[in-house]
């Protein structure tokens, strides 16, 4: 559904991504993990077509939610979600309604986004991108600064989108969320993909990339400190 082949990204005179070969299919949820500066956000932007090296396969519809996306104006939740119709040049209410329902925001449609909780505001921003009716969702740390319950709600929502045939690529630092929700984990280090495998088998490599001596306890499907 979306792919890069032998991609290289050079920013500010420095190579940020090196010889990246990556693809994700319909129905997949892929977590991009790695330490700060490893190239995760750059890879997401390349896949979104926001860099010269990036490409988005036509006619696939790709929605990109950058890190820390927020609305600083006193718009209602419904108004924020309706912004997703701007690329289509219409004000079709049906996709907006579906997005609000998918994000559990039906009861908050009239609330101002600057007066609701951080988790609710994050879901409002996600409703905006869902209202574009994308095939592919690209999200950069959508669970950052959320409490555990809100983070799991966000990930479960993305999991449902993938389960309905969409493709989800999400940058995560929380390895436990990657283990619980992602089909695959792609680990970046120094601008290169160093691992790409099903979540359970790749998480030791992900922990190593972060420099953590962690092991995996598959019973509760959470990471636990190693010996």
Do 128 and 152 sit in the same domain of this protein?
no
Q: 144 and 126 in one domain? A: no
Q: Decide: 138 and 64 in contact? Cβ < 8 Å.
A: yes
pLDDT tens profile 35-78: 898 889 999 988 888 876 444 444 478 999 998 777 878 899 99
- For position 79, what pLDDT does the model report? 96
- Express each pLDDT in 154-171 by its tens digit: 999 999 999 999 999 999
Scored b (16 or more CB within 10 A) or e, 170-205 reads bbbbbbbbbbbbbbbbbbbbebebbbbeebeebbbb
Distance of alpha carbon 145 from alpha carbon 195, whole angstroms: 27
pLDDT at residue 14, as a whole number: 82
Residue 19 φ then ψ, to 5°: 45, 60
d(CA 108, CA 111): 5
> Which CA distances in Å does 24 have to 65, 69, 116?
17, 24, 34
164 and 197 fall within a common domain: yes
Residue 202 or residue 182, greater confidence: 182
Residue 19 to residues 6, 47, 195, 215: CA-CA distances in angstroms? 4, 14, 14, 30
Domain that holds residue 11: 1-60+135-227
What pLDDT was estimated at residue 83?
A: 94
Looking at the structure, do residues 82 and 168 belong to the same domain, yes or no?
no
Q: Are residues 81 and 130 in the same domain?
A: yes
Instruction: Return the C-alpha torsion angle 86, 88, 94, 95, nearest 10.
Output: -80
Q: pTM of this prediction? A: 0.85
10 and 106 both lie in a single domain: no
Q: Cα dist. 223→85, 115, 135, 217 in Å? A: 40, 35, 31, 6
Whether 176 has a pLDDT exceeding 90, the answer reads no
129 lies in the same domain as 144: no
> For 98-134, how does the pLDDT look when each residue is reduced to its tens digit (9 = 90+)?
999 999 999 999 999 999 988 899 999 999 999 999 9
- The H or E element spanning position 136 is strand 136-140
Domain boundary among 134, 157, 190: 134
- Identify the domain boundary among 100, 134, 168: 134
CATH number at residue 212: 3.40.50.300
What is the β-pairing status of strands 14-24 and 2-11?
A: antiparallel
In this structure, the answer to whether residues 53 and 80 fall within a common structural domain is: no
**CA separation for the pair 116, 198 (Å, rounded):** 36
pLDDT in tens, 14-46: 888 988 888 999 999 999 998 898 889 999 988
Give 27's contacts (C-beta < 8 A, 6+ positions apart): 162, 163, 165, 166, 167
């Amino acid at each position: 559904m979306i792919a890069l082949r032998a991609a290289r990204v050079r920013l500010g005179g420095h190579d940020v991504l090196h010889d990246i070969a990556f693809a994700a299919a319909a129905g997949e949820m892929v977590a991009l993990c790695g330490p700060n500066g490893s190239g995760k956000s750059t890879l997401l932007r390349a896949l979104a077509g926001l860099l010269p090296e990036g490409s988005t396969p036509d006619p696939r519809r790709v929605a990109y939610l950058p890190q820390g996306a927020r609305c600083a104006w006193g718009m209602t939740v419904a108004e924020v979600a309706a912004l997703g119709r701007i690329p289509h040049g219409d004000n079709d209410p049906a996709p907006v309604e579906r997005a609000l329902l998918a994000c559990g925001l039906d009861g908050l449609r009239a609330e101002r986004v600057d007066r609701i909780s951080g988790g609710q505001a994050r879901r409002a921003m996600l409703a905006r991108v869902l209202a574009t009716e994308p095939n592919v969702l690209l999200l950069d740390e959508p669970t950052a600064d959320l409490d555990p319950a809100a983070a799991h709600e966000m990930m479960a929502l993305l999991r449902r989108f993938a389960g309905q045939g969409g493709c989800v690529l999400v940058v995560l630092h929380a390895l436990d969320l990657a283990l619980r929700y992602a089909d695959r984990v792609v680990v970046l280090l120094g601008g290169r993909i160093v691992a790409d495998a099903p979540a359970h088998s790749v998480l030791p490599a992900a922990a190593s990339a972060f420099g953590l001596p962690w092991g995996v306890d598959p019973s509760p499907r959470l990471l636990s400190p190693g010996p």
